[in-house]
Amino acid sequence: MLWVKAFHIVFVVSWFAGLFYLPRIFVNLAMVPAESAAERERLLLMARKLYRFVTPIGLLATALGLWLWFGFGFHGGWLHAKTALVVGLWAYHGFCGGQLRRFVAGNNRRSHTWFRVFNEIPVLALIAIVILAVVKPF
C-alpha cells in the first residue's frame, strides 16, 4: 500500500500543477490583443495539450485515492470532507475544459482579472485537503 500512496501523491501533485497552470494560460489568453492571432493560437495549443495531459493524471490520482480508501478502510468526517473537495476539483477541472472550448470558439467573456481570482480556487482546495489528510480534525 505504500507504493499506492506514493504514486497517489505523485499524481495529485501533478494534477494540481495542471490545475494551477491552466487558468494562468487563460489569464494570458484573456489579455491577448485581437490582432495577435499567432500568440492566441500558441496559448490555445498550450492550454489544449495541458488539459489533455492532466485529465488522465487526475483520473489516476482519484483512482489511487479510492484504492487507498477501500484498502485501508478509512472512515470519518475528514475523509468525507476531503472527498467533497475532490469532487469540487473535478467540477473545477470540467469548468476549465468548458472555458477552454469557449476560448477556442472565440466566445470568452471573462476578464484576465476574473481568471486571476479563479486561479486561486485550487490553492484553497489544496490547503484544505492537506490539512484534512494530515491533521484529520474530525
Sign of the alpha-carbon dihedral angle for 91, 64, 80, 15: negative
Give the pLDDT band (50/70/90) at residue 1.
confident
Which tens digits make up the pLDDT trace of 80-98?
A: 999 999 999 999 999 999 9
Give the pLDDT band (50/70/90) at residue 116.
very high
For 64, residues 6+ apart whose C-beta sits below 8 A from its C-beta are 4, 5, 7, 8, 11
Give the pLDDT band (50/70/90) at residue 24.
very high
In this prediction, residue 74 carries a pLDDT of 73
Which tens digits make up the pLDDT trace of 39-51?
A: 999 999 999 999 9
**Helical pair 2-31 and 37-72, crossing angle rounded to 10 deg:** 160
